[in-house]
Amino acid sequence: MSKLICKHCGGNVETDEEICTHCGMPLPPDSSKDSQRKFILVIIALTIICIIMILWLPRELMQYPGR
């Protein structure tokens, strides 16, 4: 289990807690984890687009031979 530091009291809180167990203040959503997930999704999307492009380009060239 990873821990984060409460911005209000500086105490260590479990990342899955929604409020600080020390001061009771609501914790911000784990933005680092969220952005990391988005980054991975963008990479996967780009990879899929690249694969589609690679698979499509030869066919396009074969349909219109430049002679």
The radius of gyration of the chain's CA atoms, rounded to the nearest angstrom, is: 23
Task: Pick between residue 22 and residue 33 the one whose CB is nearest to Zn ion.
Answer: 22
Helix intervals (H) in the chain: 31-63
Q: Name which position in 22, 33, 37, 38 contacts Zn ion (CB under 5 A).
A: 22
37 near Zn ion (CB under 5 A): no
> 39, 18 in Cβ contact below 8 A?
no
27 near Zn ion (CB under 5 A): no
Minimum CB distance to Zn ion, residue 14 (Å): 12
Name which of 15, 40, 39, 37 is nearest 28 in CA terms.
15
19 near Zn ion (CB under 5 A): no
Which one-letter DSSP state was computed for residue 18?
S
Residues binding Zn ion (CB under 5 A): 6, 8-9, 11, 20, 22-23
